[in-house]
Amino acid sequence: MIKVLIVDDHQMVRFGTRRLLEDESGLQIVGEASSGEEAIEAVDALNPQVVLMDVQMPGIGGLEATRRCLRIAPDVKVIALSMHDGEPFPSKLFEAGAKGYVSKRSDPEELILAIRKVMAGQRYISTDIAQNLALRPFAEVQQSPFEQLSGREMQIALMVIRGMGAAEMGKKLILSPKTVNSYRYRIFEKLDIKNDVELTKLAIQHGLLETESVA
């Protein structure tokens, strides 16, 4: 029996995912979490084998939660779930240790396949996302400038976009406000922008906020 933890800040998404997986033989839902912080506590308390991790959530978000869950339980298999089917999210989640990345637009059967694949020791990425990534070198559209950010820089950029201050970010990421601000200015420099407003505009332009409410 594969023990699964569902992590998503939307109750309806958790409910739908639970209903889908409960009907599948060999899978057991051991718990749910509505934030990255709750996910970390649940991994420690419930010992799931697979974590279905929403990418964008309030607080530390799915990227940082993936890192911390794997520090607690190195063998847990994290499958990232998101409405975002392009970079920089897939690469950042895999760099953080995720074993799978599945689009929320995928057929339900693909999520079940992803769970079985990662439990068999393989990586899994949704077919539509894999195709998009394979075609990226030939795409005429501009690639996302956010791809050049490190995982930590990406995490802080997302927090800035959500309106979090340096003190709050530092508390959640266990960093000093000074260190957080150093990351912020490094992000501005890499993206060739001057402030938080320009960062938010750039995020909207490249789709990072377009579907955040459901991602």
List average pLDDT for each run of 10 residues in the chain, which is 215 residues long.
96 93 93 95 97 90 93 96 78 91 88 95 85 54 78 89 89 91 93 91 76 39
Place of tokens 């989640």: 93
For residue 205, the model assigns a pLDDT of 81
Sheet holding 27-33, edge to edge: 27-33, 2-7, 50-54, 77-82, 100-103, 124-125
- Is CATH 1.10.530.10 the classification given to domain 145-214? no
DSSP 8-state secondary structure symbol assigned to residue 136: G
Q: Which fold has domain 2-136?
A: Rossmann fold (3.40.50)
DSSP 8-state secondary structure symbol assigned to residue 37: H
For residue 91, the model assigns a pLDDT of 83
Place of tokens 């070198």: 137
Structural domain boundaries in the chain:
2-136, 145-214
Place of tokens 């709750």: 38
